[in-house]
C-alpha cells in the first residue's frame, strides 16, 4: 500500500485540510504543508495537529509562511520573497507522508510555475478533494484533466459535503477515477468524530496504488 500522498483540491475552502488531517491520522503519517499563505487564526498545519491526534513532531515545518491569505505567488510578492522550488523538495526520510498543496492544482507559486509543477517533481499519487455542491462536476473534471496532462498519478477523488450521488457518480465515471469516499460536514468537528467519519465513509483499500 502506498502511504505517501499529495492532497490537492478543486478549489479553496472545500475541506482539503480536514481530509488531510483524517488521512494523516489514519496512516500515522507525517504531514507537510510546504507553502502556507495566511497566518491569521489557525494555519493548516495547526488544524492538522489538532484534528489528526498525532504528536507535534509529526507536523513538519512549512518551507514558506506567508502573511496574506491569497495565491502563493501573490502572497510571496507581498512579503517581498520569491518561492524557490529548490526549497520544496520532499522530506527524505522513509515512512508515511501526507503533503498538502496550496489551493487547487493550477494555483501559481510564481509567474511561471504552479502547484502541478511541484507534483510532477514529487512523483507521489494525488488525492483530489472535491466538494459535493453545485459546480463540482466542472471543477473536478478540469482538475483531473490538468493532472493527467502532466502524467501525475491520481489515487482517486475524496468528496467533502452532503451526499450528492449523481455528481459523485458522474465525476468518477467521466473522469475514469476511483471514488475513495466522502466526509460529511461534521459538527462538532474533533479528532474522534473525524476519525470515525473517515473510517466509515472511505474505502481504505482503494487507497492502494
What residues are labeled active site?
33
d(C-alpha 42, C-alpha 160), whole Å: 20
Q: Map out the domains of the chain as residue ranges.
A: 4-207
| Long-range contacts (CB closer than 8 Å, 24 or more residues apart) made by 137-145 | 137/167, 137/170, 137/171, 137/174, 139/10, 139/11, 139/104, 140/10, 140/171, 140/175, 141/171, 141/174, 141/175, 142/10, 143/8, 143/9, 143/10, 143/104, 143/105, 144/175, 144/177
pLDDT value of residue 93? 75
The CATH classification of domain 4-207, taken from the options 2.160.10.10, 3.40.50.300, 3.40.470.10, 3.30.870.10: 3.40.50.300
**pTM for the model:** 0.95
pLDDT per residue as tens digits for the range 129-181: 999 999 999 999 999 999 999 999 999 999 999 999 999 999 999 999 999 99
Q: Which three cell numbers stand for residue 7?
A: 492532497
Band of residue 38 on the pLDDT scale cut at 50, 70, 90: very high
pLDDT value of residue 205? 76
> Is the pLDDT assigned to residue 209 strictly greater than 70?
no
> Is the pLDDT assigned to residue 35 strictly greater than 90?
yes
Q: Which three cell numbers stand for residue 60?
A: 513538519
pLDDT per residue as tens digits for the range 1-22: 569 999 999 999 999 999 999 9
Amino acid at each position: 500500500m502506498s502511504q505517501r500522498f499529495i492532497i490537492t483540491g478543486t478549489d479553496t475552502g472545500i475541506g482539503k485540510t480536514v481530509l488531510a488531517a483524517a488521512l494523516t491520522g489514519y496512516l500515522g503519517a507525517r504531514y507537510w504543508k510546504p507553502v502556507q499563505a495566511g497566518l491569521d487564526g489557525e494555519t493548516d498545519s495547526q488544524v492538522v495537529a489538532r484534528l489528526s491526534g498525532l504528536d507535534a513532531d509529526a507536523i513538519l515545518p512549512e518551507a514558506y509562511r506567508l502573511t496574506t491569505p491569497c495565491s502563493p505567488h501573490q502572497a510571496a510578492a507581498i512579503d517581498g520573497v520569491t518561492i524557490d522550488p529548490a526549497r520544496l523538495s520532499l522530506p527524505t526520510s522513509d515512512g508515511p507522508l501526507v503533503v498538502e498543496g496550496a489551493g487547487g492544482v493550477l494555483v501559481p507559486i510564481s509567474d511561471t510555475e504552479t502547484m502541478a509543477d511541484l507534483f510532477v517533481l514529487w512523483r507521489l499519487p494525488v488525492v483530489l478533494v472535491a466538494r459535493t455542491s453545485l459546480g463540482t462536476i466542472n471543477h473536478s473534471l478540469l482538475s483531473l484533466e490538468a493532472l493527467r496532462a502532466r502524467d501525475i498519478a491520481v489515487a482517486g477523488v475524496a468528496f467533502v459535503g452532503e451526499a450528492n450521488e449523481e455528481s459523485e457518480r458522474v465525476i468518477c465515471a467521466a473522469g475514469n477515477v476511483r471514488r475513495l469516499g466522502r466526509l460529511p460536514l461534521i459538527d462538532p468537528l474533533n479528532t474522534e468524530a473525524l476519525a470515525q467519519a473517515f473510517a466509515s465513509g472511505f474505502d481504505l483499500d482503494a487507497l492502494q496504488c
